[in-house]
């Protein structure tokens, strides 16, 4: 069987043909991304309030104490060697009053990297919780894996992989024959309908890498000798470099390098140097190392010993792994690789994705406000409107110091030059470039990782960012230079759009404590020094865009590309929908599973929804009172129906997607999965809009001097509790309400959510915000596209497989709403 498969893969030109080079002007790196991991058959999300004898300790009790007792209770039957800690990135949402608590499991003091409990607590009650804790027998990390007698997951894994590959090979052949599929790769449109390698990309997703690495090598084991990883002492936990090298072979997009690593591993291993750090605090251990000189990594790799769960029937077993954080040119991986031979990759998440509350009194902004010639907020792309003069209309709650001011202490350029304060001892620096507290924007024609000293426009004292934008039709050979002539205008646009997204999401609750992107947090909690680095006209590719989201406290990175789909070239920076889609990866990744966990939306349905939220939010932001269908990326891709299979539409002829669509050929990749999720949300949002109407601006009114947010025509009249405390403000209109519910739900849902979990979290967010006023509307809308209460999936695989059943029915109490 395997021969046949390999033959059919080769026949499709698949091996090594994963990136489309977008043009001849520039040598494009082969782009590759890995994302997979085990399913957790035992993981649950309880969306209904959970009362338990010991957890309900009164409405005024400390939510952390409630959580502590609750977790003790639900883990009472676990092995005595299992323990847990409440993570420091837990927080209370200022608007809803819900405390989002993230709990991590430990086994014999070693972290279980995917043993997560997230609890949503309010007034002493656990409103909902997700739980993927390991419940099996104790496992001692100091006893070698072989002696522990783990099931041979390696073989099982390969068998299911072979089966899945075969299914997909058949699908590809059908697709190529039927010429049915508009294929997308990354956020990239595959030009030409039946380009087999593009279709193969979409259908195979990450599988060939997995196949190639984890299973092909079963037959031809890696040349390394068995490393005695464990000898009973904590400091001889083994050496992460071999496991890391094995990961790099799979991860590097450079095939020549991958070969060299396999032919002569010791040459590279000798150069890799580990610096060890081992702490045991309160019985919880961190055995970690920093590894320098890792081939193809752009910074030292962090390595940490941990357990991860691998499926074992209906439950899981623990496998000891090295957990790596690997920053590369085009990827930023969190990978778990078996500590013992064979060093298989158990899971890998690429942090790169292709694609209202009382506030503290606001300090006045000091600097002269910026003026920008841009496509104004709401103008999605150049087909919708012309550029206009727009002020630095920052939101005072979201960006108290404006977009061009940040403390010397948080400014990477000042840190590099050791300037600690202004000439008169000022702590804040005013900038005259596209450099500020939320966003750093600049060109990146080289397509490399350097960014600090890249070119960015300087508007001088007057702060007028007014630059021409009139790209001309040229010969193809001159098209790139022609695009580059407009860098001032495109960087200005990128800076403007990204700052407004920051401000908008802030007002719906993506704030400092929940992990937003800012250099300075104004004393409002959360980790600092993580503004978004945005690259305009990034030279590492064409026809795409991507966003890397490391955990809170490390800069997000957004790369926007040129599109060679038309003459003159189209610049992704000029299409707001693409920038919003990308930034939304940062939003959903930081909010799901907590600010410090960037590994919750890595693959399968979760990874797909990571794409879907971006499409949905971009589409909602551009939509107007008069209903219309919308496409994603239509201008950049130069295709009226955009880069997805269908436009977002209520009309089932135009967009027939239902939950079961996920079973179809071509729906293995995260973008296709995301498209289905975004369509579901679009149907839900239109139902709320028909109930509550539409508001023209999604920006809530600015807070008053004393920090109170006026209701304006934006929120319903404020309500107060018996104690006189103002209840959370509820957006009055359908479009603002759905944005609020979707963002609140991201905070409620568990790590690695399924479609069901994300749906239940939205319904639960409505319960918390409005007391469940829209319970039936939400069910009716989800059920319209098959995601009713009895929708189900059998035999789900980590790669998006499984057989789904639609449910178009609604809960009994909602029948009359249909
Ligand atoms: C920033 O601008 C304001 C107002 O123009 C000025 O008062 C302040 O001193 C400036 N800060 C620095 C460090 O120059
Ligand atoms: C831009 O302005 C020109 C000239 O006023 C006008 O003809 C054109 O329709 C405008 N374009 C859009 C997309 O509004
Ligand atoms: C960008 O603007 C500056 C003036 O602010 C100008 O000197 C420079 O030539 C412009 N760059 C391009 C490529 O036009
Ligand atoms: C749905 O779209 C199809 C195809 O464009 C069109 O023929 C049909 O009239 C539309 N239905 C509704 C209800 O608008
Ligand atoms: C804030 O100011 C507004 C308007 O001046 C006032 O109505 C409101 O009561 C004040 N709120 C607080 C909490 O002081």
pLDDT tens column, 206-238: 444 444 444 443 332 222 222 233 233 223 346
Please tell me the predicted confidence (pLDDT) of residue 799. Answer: 63
Residues ≥6 apart with Cβ < 8 Å to 39: 311, 604, 796, 797, 798
Q: Relative to the alpha carbon of 419, which ligand is closest?
A: 1
- Indicate whether 533 and 574 sit together in one domain: yes
Q: What is the distance in A from the centroid of ligand 3 to the CA of 146?
A: 64
CATH (domain of 87)? 3.10.450
User: How does the average pLDDT of the chain come out, rounded?
Assistant: 83
- Domain membership of residue 31 (yes or no) is no
Confidence of residue 168 (pLDDT cuts 50, 70, 90): low
Domain that holds residue 426: 371-578
Cα separation, 286 vs 556, in Å, equals 26
Of 527, 582, 679, 784, which one is the catalytic site residue? 582
Label residues 88-120 b or e (16+ Cβ within 10 Å = b). Answer: ebbbbbbbbbbbbbbbbbbbbbbbbbbbbbbbb
Distances (CA, A) of 117 to 281, 540, 601, 618: 21, 38, 16, 31
Please tell me the predicted confidence (pLDDT) of residue 278. Answer: 67
Q: Where are the alpha helices (DSSP H) in 476-628?
A: 476-484, 487-507, 576-591, 604-622
Tell me the best of 631, 653, 655, 686 to mutate to test the pocket of ligand 4, counting ligand atoms within 8 Å of each CB and taking the most.
653
CA neighbor of 742 nearest in space, from 758, 729, 756: 758
Share of the chain above pLDDT 90, in %: 57
Please tell me the predicted confidence (pLDDT) of residue 341. Answer: 65
Cα dihedral 435, 439, 444, 449 sign: positive
Is 442 annotated as contributing to ligand binding? no
Residue of minimum CA distance from atom 7 in ligand 1: 366
- pLDDT per residue as tens digits for the range 476-526: 999 999 999 999 999 999 999 999 999 999 999 999 999 999 999 998 999
Q: What is the distance in A from the centroid of ligand 2 to the CA of 307?
A: 59
- Domain membership of residue 241 (yes or no) is yes
- Indicate whether 658 and 788 sit together in one domain: yes
Work out how many domains the chain is built from and give that number. 5
Cα separation, 437 vs 422, in Å, equals 16
Task: Let me know if 547 is exposed, middle or buried by CB neighbors in 10 A (0-12, 13-18, 19+).
Answer: buried
Residues ≥6 apart with Cβ < 8 Å to 79: 107, 136, 137, 138
Residues ≥6 apart with Cβ < 8 Å to 741: 762, 765, 766, 769, 774
Is 166 annotated as contributing to ligand binding? no
- The answer to whether 790 and 752 have CB atoms below 8 angstroms apart is no
- The answer to whether 22 and 564 have CB atoms below 8 angstroms apart is yes
- Residue 180 catalytic? no
Please tell me the predicted confidence (pLDDT) of residue 30. Answer: 53
Ligand 2 atom closest to 383 (CA) = 13
Confidence of residue 798 (pLDDT cuts 50, 70, 90): low
Q: Relative to the alpha carbon of 464, which ligand is closest?
A: 3
Q: What is the distance in A from the centroid of ligand 2 to the CA of 503?
A: 29
CA neighbor of 12 nearest in space, from 137, 142, 121, 174: 174
What residues are in contact with ligand 5 under a 6 Å CB criterion? 704, 706, 708
- Confidence check: pLDDT of 196 > 80: no
Please tell me the predicted confidence (pLDDT) of residue 126. Answer: 94
Query: Higher confidence at residue 497 or residue 280?
Result: 497
* Chosen domain end from 101, 134, 167: 134
Tell me the best of 434, 443, 467 to mutate to test the pocket of ligand 3, counting ligand atoms within 8 Å of each CB and taking the most.
467
- The answer to whether 50 and 67 have CB atoms below 8 angstroms apart is no
- Indicate whether 453 and 517 sit together in one domain: yes
* Chosen domain end from 216, 235, 262: 216
- pLDDT per residue as tens digits for the range 540-591: 889 989 999 999 999 999 999 999 999 999 999 999 999 999 999 999 999 9
- pLDDT per residue as tens digits for the range 24-66: 333 344 567 777 777 788 899 998 887 655 545 566 689 999 9
The pairing of strands 371-374 and 464-465 is parallel
- pLDDT per residue as tens digits for the range 619-676: 999 999 999 999 999 999 999 989 999 999 999 999 999 999 999 877 877 888 999 9
- pLDDT per residue as tens digits for the range 717-759: 988 888 778 888 999 999 999 999 999 999 999 999 999 999 9
Confidence of residue 73 (pLDDT cuts 50, 70, 90): very high
Instruction: Provide the token pair at 767.
Output: 């319960």
- Confidence check: pLDDT of 801 > 90: no
- pLDDT per residue as tens digits for the range 284-341: 667 788 999 999 999 999 998 889 998 777 788 888 888 999 998 888 899 998 887 6
Is 111 annotated as contributing to ligand binding? no
Distances (CA, A) of 69 to 63, 72, 84: 10, 5, 12
Prediction pTM value:
0.84
- Domain membership of residue 597 (yes or no) is no
Question: Which of 15-19, 191-195, 227-231, 364-368 shows the lowest mean pLDDT across its residues?
Answer: 15-19
Cα separation, 64 vs 662, in Å, equals 39
Residues ≥6 apart with Cβ < 8 Å to 681: 612, 613, 616, 738, 742
- Confidence check: pLDDT of 149 > 60: no
CA neighbor of 796 nearest in space, from 540, 585, 599, 604: 604
Confidence of residue 349 (pLDDT cuts 50, 70, 90): confident
- Indicate whether 332 and 412 sit together in one domain: no
Query: Higher confidence at residue 574 or residue 419?
Result: 574
Please tell me the predicted confidence (pLDDT) of residue 795. Answer: 81
- Indicate whether 20 and 59 sit together in one domain: no
Cα separation, 779 vs 753, in Å, equals 18
- Indicate whether 438 and 565 sit together in one domain: yes
Q: What is the distance in A from the centroid of ligand 1 to the CA of 431?
A: 10
CATH (domain of 409)? 3.10.170.10
Please tell me the predicted confidence (pLDDT) of residue 136. Answer: 87
- Indicate whether 123 and 159 sit together in one domain: no
Residue of minimum CA distance from atom 2 in ligand 5: 706
Residue of minimum CA distance from atom 13 in ligand 5: 708
Grouping H, G, I as helix, E, B as strand and the rest as coil, residue 668 is coil
Distances (CA, A) of 363 to 408, 505, 513: 17, 21, 20
Angle between helices 576-591 and 487-507 (to 10 degrees): 40
429 in ligand 1 pocket by Cβ < 6 Å?
A: yes
Q: Relative to the alpha carbon of 652, which ligand is closest?
A: 4
CATH (domain of 679)? 1.10.390.10
- Indicate whether 645 and 695 sit together in one domain: yes
Please tell me the predicted confidence (pLDDT) of residue 32. Answer: 72
- The answer to whether 620 and 684 have CB atoms below 8 angstroms apart is no
654 in ligand 4 pocket by Cβ < 6 Å?
A: yes
- Indicate whether 481 and 563 sit together in one domain: yes
Cα separation, 810 vs 795, in Å, equals 24
- Domain membership of residue 280 (yes or no) is yes
Is 354 annotated as contributing to ligand binding? yes
Ligand 5 atom closest to 706 (CA) = 1
Query: Higher confidence at residue 234 or residue 137?
Result: 137
CA neighbor of 317 nearest in space, from 80, 44, 130, 135: 135
Which residues pair with residue 280 across a beta bridge? 285
Please tell me the predicted confidence (pLDDT) of residue 208. Answer: 44
Please tell me the predicted confidence (pLDDT) of residue 157. Answer: 56
- Indicate whether 433 and 325 sit together in one domain: no
Residues ≥6 apart with Cβ < 8 Å to 342: 154, 217, 218, 221, 222
Q: Relative to the alpha carbon of 425, which ligand is closest?
A: 1
- The answer to whether 799 and 164 have CB atoms below 8 angstroms apart is yes
Please tell me the predicted confidence (pLDDT) of residue 521. Answer: 94
455 in ligand 3 pocket by Cβ < 6 Å?
A: no
- Domain membership of residue 36 (yes or no) is no
Please tell me the predicted confidence (pLDDT) of residue 178. Answer: 44
Tell me, rounded to whole angstroms, the distance of Cα 665 from its chain centroid.
24
- The answer to whether 367 and 235 have CB atoms below 8 angstroms apart is no
- Domain membership of residue 289 (yes or no) is yes
* Chosen domain end from 165, 183, 216: 216
Residue of minimum CA distance from atom 14 in ligand 2: 385
Dihedrals phi, psi of 440, to nearest 5 degrees? -110, 120
Ligand 3 atom closest to 458 (CA) = 5
814 in ligand 3 pocket by Cβ < 6 Å?
A: no
- Domain membership of residue 440 (yes or no) is yes
**Rounded mean pLDDT of 82-106?**
93
For tokens 């920038």, the residue is: 579
516 in ligand 3 pocket by Cβ < 6 Å?
A: no
Please tell me the predicted confidence (pLDDT) of residue 55. Answer: 46
Tell me the best of 363, 364, 365, 366 to mutate to test the pocket of ligand 1, counting ligand atoms within 8 Å of each CB and taking the most.
366
- Domain membership of residue 475 (yes or no) is yes
Please count the residues of the chain.
818
- Indicate whether 538 and 678 sit together in one domain: no
Tell me the best of 375, 386, 388, 635 to mutate to test the pocket of ligand 2, counting ligand atoms within 8 Å of each CB and taking the most.
386
Question: Which of 127-141, 177-191, 239-253, 369-383 shows the lowest mean pLDDT across its residues?
Answer: 177-191
Query: Higher confidence at residue 776 or residue 152?
Result: 776
- Indicate whether 386 and 530 sit together in one domain: yes
Query: Higher confidence at residue 385 or residue 206?
Result: 385
Angle in degrees, CA 405, 406, 412, rounded to 5 = 125
Cα dihedral 776, 777, 783, 788 sign: negative
**Rounded mean pLDDT of 778-805?**
90
Ligand 3 atom closest to 460 (CA) = 5
Confidence of residue 181 (pLDDT cuts 50, 70, 90): very low
**Rounded mean pLDDT of 436-461?**
96
Q: Give strand ranges (E) for 339-457.
A: 345-350, 352-353, 371-374, 388-391, 405-407, 428-430, 439-443
- pLDDT per residue as tens digits for the range 197-207: 554 555 454 44
């Amino acid at each position: 069987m395997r021969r046949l498969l390999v033959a059919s893969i080769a026949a499709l030109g698949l091996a090594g043909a994963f990136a489309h080079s977008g043009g001849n002007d520039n040598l494009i790196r082969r782009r590759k991304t890995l994302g997979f991991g085990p399913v957790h058959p035992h993981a649950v999300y309880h969306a209904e309030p959970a009362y338990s004898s010991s957890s309900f300790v009164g409405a005024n009790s400390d939510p952390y104490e409630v959580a502590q007792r609750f977790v003790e209770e639900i883990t009472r039957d676990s092995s005595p060697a299992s323990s847990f800690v409440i993570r420091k990135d837990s927080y209370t949402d200022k608007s809803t009053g819900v405390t989002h608590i993230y709990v991590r499991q430990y086994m014999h003091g070693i972290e279980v990297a995917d043993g997560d409990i997230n609890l949503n607590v309010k007034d002493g009650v656990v409103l909902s919780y997700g739980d993927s804790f390991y419940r099996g027998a104790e496992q001692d990390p100091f006893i070698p894996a072989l002696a522990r007698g783990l099931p041979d997951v390696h073989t099982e894994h390969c068998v299911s992989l072979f089966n899945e590959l075969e299914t997909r090979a058949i699908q590809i052949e059908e697709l190529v024959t039927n010429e049915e599929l508009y294929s997308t790769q990354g956020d990239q449109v595959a030009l030409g309908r039946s380009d087999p390698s593009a279709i193969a990309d979409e259908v195979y997703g990450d599988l060939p890498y997995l196949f190639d690495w984890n299973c092909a090598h079963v037959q031809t084991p890696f040349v390394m000798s068995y490393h005695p990883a464990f000898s009973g002492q904590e400091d001889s936990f083994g050496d992460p470099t071999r496991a890391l090298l094995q990961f790099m072979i799979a991860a590097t997009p450079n095939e020549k390098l991958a070969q060299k690593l396999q032919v002569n591993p010791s040459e590279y291993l000798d150069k890799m140097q580990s610096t060890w750090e081992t702490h045991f605090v309160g019985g919880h251990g961190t055995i970690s190392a920093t590894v320098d000189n890792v081939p193809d990594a752009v910074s030292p790799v962090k390595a940490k010993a941990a357990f991860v769960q691998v499926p074992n029937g209906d439950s899981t077993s623990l496998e000891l792994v090295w957990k790596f954080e690997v920053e590369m040119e085009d990827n930023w991986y969190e990978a778990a690789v078996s500590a013992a031979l064979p060093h298989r990759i158990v899971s890998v998440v690429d942090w790169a994705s292709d694609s209202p509350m009382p506030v503290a009194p606001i300090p006045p902004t000091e600097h002269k406000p910026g003026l920008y010639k841009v496509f104004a907020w709401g103008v999605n792309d150049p087909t919708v409107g012309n550029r206009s003069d727009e002020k630095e209309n920052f939101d005072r709650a979201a960006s108290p110091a404006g977009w061009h001011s940040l403390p010397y202490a948080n400014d990477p350029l000042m840190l590099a030059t050791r300037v600690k304060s202004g000439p008169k001892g000022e702590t804040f620096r005013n900038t005259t470039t596209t450099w500020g507290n939320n966003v750093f924007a600049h060109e990146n024609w080289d397509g490399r990782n350097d960014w600090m000293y890249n070119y960015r426009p300087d508007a001088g004292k007057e702060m007028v960012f007014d630059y021409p934008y009139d790209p001309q039709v040229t010969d193809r050979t001159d098209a790139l230079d022609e695009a580059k002539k407009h860098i001032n205008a495109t960087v200005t646009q990128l800076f403007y759009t990204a700052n407004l997204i920051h401000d908008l999401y802030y007002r719906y609750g993506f704030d400092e404590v929940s992990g937003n992107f800012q250099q300075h947090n104004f004393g409002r909690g959360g980790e600092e020094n993580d503004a978004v680095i945005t690259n305009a006209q990034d030279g590492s590719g064409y026809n795409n865009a991507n966003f890397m989201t490391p955990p809170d406290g490390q800069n997000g990175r957004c790369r926007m590309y040129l599109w060679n789909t038309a003459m003159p070239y189209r610049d992704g920076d000029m299409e707001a929908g693409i920038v919003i889609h990308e930034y939304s990866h940062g939003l959903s990744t930081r909010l799901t599973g907590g600010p410090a966990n960037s590994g919750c939306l890595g693959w399968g349905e979760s990874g797909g929804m990571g794409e879907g939220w971006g499409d949905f939010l971009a589409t909602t932001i551009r939509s107007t009172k008069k209903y219309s269908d919308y496409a994603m990326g239509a201008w950049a891709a130069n295709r009226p129906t955009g880069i997805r299979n269908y436009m977002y539409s209520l009309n089932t002829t135009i967009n027939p997607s239902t939950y079961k669509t996920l079973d179809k050929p071509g729906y293995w990749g995260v973008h296709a999965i995301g498209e289905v999720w975004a369509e579901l949300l679009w149907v839900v949002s239109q139902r709320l809009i028909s109930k509550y109407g539409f508001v023209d601006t999604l920006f809530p009114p600015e807070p008053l001097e004393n920090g109170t947010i006026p209701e304006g025509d934006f929120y319903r009249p404020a309500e107060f509790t018996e104690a006189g405390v103002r209840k959370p403000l509820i957006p009055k209109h359908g479009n603002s309400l759905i944005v609020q519910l979707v963002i609140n739900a991201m905070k409620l849902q568990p790590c690695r959510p399924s479609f069901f979990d994300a749906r239940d979290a939205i319904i639960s967010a409505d319960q918390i915000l409005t007391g469940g006023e829209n319970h039936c509307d939400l069910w009716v809308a989800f059920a319209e596209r098959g995601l009713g209460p009895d929708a189900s999936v059998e035999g789900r695989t980590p790669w998006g497989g499984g057989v789904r059943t639609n449910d178009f029915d609604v809960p009994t109490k909602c029948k009359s709403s249909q």
